[in-house]
Amino acid sequence: MFDNQNFADHESVHMFSDQKSGLRAIIAVHNTARGPAAGGTRLWTYPNTSAALEDALNLSRAMSYKNAMADIPFGGGKAVILRPSGAFDRVALFQAYGRAIESLGGVYCTAEDVGVSTADMEEVRKATAYVGGLDTGAAASGDPSPITAEGVFRGLHVAAKNAFGQASVDGVKIAVQGLGHVGYSLCEKLAGAGARLWVADINEAAVEKAHQELGAHIVSPDEIYGQSVDIFAPCALGGAVNANSIDVIKAKIVGGAANNQLASPEMGQALRDRGVLYCPDYVINGGGIINVAAELSGAYDPDWVDGKLDGLSQTLSEIFTTADAENRPTNEIADSLAEQRIQAAAHR
């Protein structure tokens, strides 16, 4: 474990199994200097347990950075549940998972990520209070995805101002990869603001809906990268910017909701070399965790959420300015800023 290249000084990594429900989960706590570790739970079919561990470690480190950039009083953590093969009792699985979280005594707080719904989180709540993204309860904030989409939407305006000199997406051509909870909501906002959309998803019903409702052009999942558009918005899974896609991306801005968009950190420099403005993923997609943080505080305040979303845009703007001044890729600038914020909290 300690030699794993993705270990990155995690404070702790917890493995849970529950024979009765079939639960196998990994909760990775990267850093708690700024507060309890907060980050979503992913339910996914992994080829093997090593792949699940890698995912948990990578994602939880990114959450430390994301929460620091969102300026919320939380450290970084993330959990993955290995999807049981065959039929399983979802209620029992998430209740067992809730007991696992409870056993950590508040070191880790969770919410939804890919493959997990608000209904699942309601089952988690039966066993622990360290959960947000709920539909019911005094401070319920519901599915964080629309707020994530709102943060991405605002961030793309900041990027458009930097790259095209106009803080507007009216008439701007945008390719959106992945029309799930966040991607579809983002498309609705973009279409409402006059953007022209090209969309891809492995779920044909989703792209058909975007075509019917938003006038989006449907593109195959393999061809979304190379569209002649102004902005490429990855909103599916990680690694959208990789050794294969880097040379076919024609957009001048890459910015979307997906976590870990760069297959490797070097891709940030590769984008810069090609004149592409990259919106660091964990900055632009911080809206959801801001919303969850508002709920976890015990008293949901929409004005606080709105102010923090504006803060994300401001941080993004500062990153772009520093990247230009220092001629460095935006992902490096974001990492440095996040590390400074985490270290400052650790010193305090």
Q: Which residues bind ligand NAD (CB under 6 A)?
A: 113-114, 144-145, 148, 177-183, 200-203, 206, 221, 235-237, 257-259, 285, 288
At 162, which amino acid appears? Answer: N
Cβ pair 78, 59 in contact under 8 A: yes
Rg (C-alpha) for the chain, rounded Å, is: 19
One DSSP character per residue, 303-344 reads HHHHHHHHHHHHHHHHHHHHHHHHT--HHHHHHHHHHHHHHH
Least distance CB 347 / ligand NAD (angstroms): 28
Shorter beta-carbon distance to ligand NAD: residue 220 or 327: 220
Separation in Å, CA 294 to CA 81, 186, 307: 25, 21, 12
One DSSP character per residue, 33-102 reads TTSSEE--EEEE--SSHHHHHHHHHHHHHHHHHHHHHTT-S-EEEEEEEEPPSS---HHHHHHHHHHHHH
* Cα 191 to Cα 276: distance, rounded to the nearest angstrom: 23
* Cα 194 to Cα 310: distance, rounded to the nearest angstrom: 21
Least distance CB 256 / ligand NAD (angstroms): 8
Q: How many CA atoms lie within 13 A of 81 on its CB side?
A: 30
Shorter beta-carbon distance to ligand NAD: residue 223 or 339: 223
Shorter beta-carbon distance to ligand NAD: residue 96 or 186: 186
Shorter beta-carbon distance to ligand NAD: residue 254 or 258: 258
Least distance CB 171 / ligand NAD (angstroms): 25
Shorter beta-carbon distance to ligand NAD: residue 251 or 325: 251
Backbone angles phi, psi at 14, to 5 degrees: -115, 130
Least distance CB 178 / ligand NAD (angstroms): 3
- Active site annotation includes 20: no
Backbone angles phi, psi at 177, to 5 degrees: -100, 110
Least distance CB 40 / ligand NAD (angstroms): 7
Shorter beta-carbon distance to ligand NAD: residue 159 or 235: 235
Least distance CB 165 / ligand NAD (angstroms): 28
Least distance CB 79 / ligand NAD (angstroms): 12
* Cα 219 to Cα 71: distance, rounded to the nearest angstrom: 37
Cβ pair 176, 186 in contact under 8 A: yes
Cβ pair 243, 294 in contact under 8 A: no
**Of these residues, 66, 78, 189, 250, which one is catalytic?**
78
Q: Cα torsion for 70, 149, 132, 62, to the nearest 10°?
A: -50
* Cα 230 to Cα 246: distance, rounded to the nearest angstrom: 15
Shorter beta-carbon distance to ligand NAD: residue 166 or 203: 203
Active site residues: 78
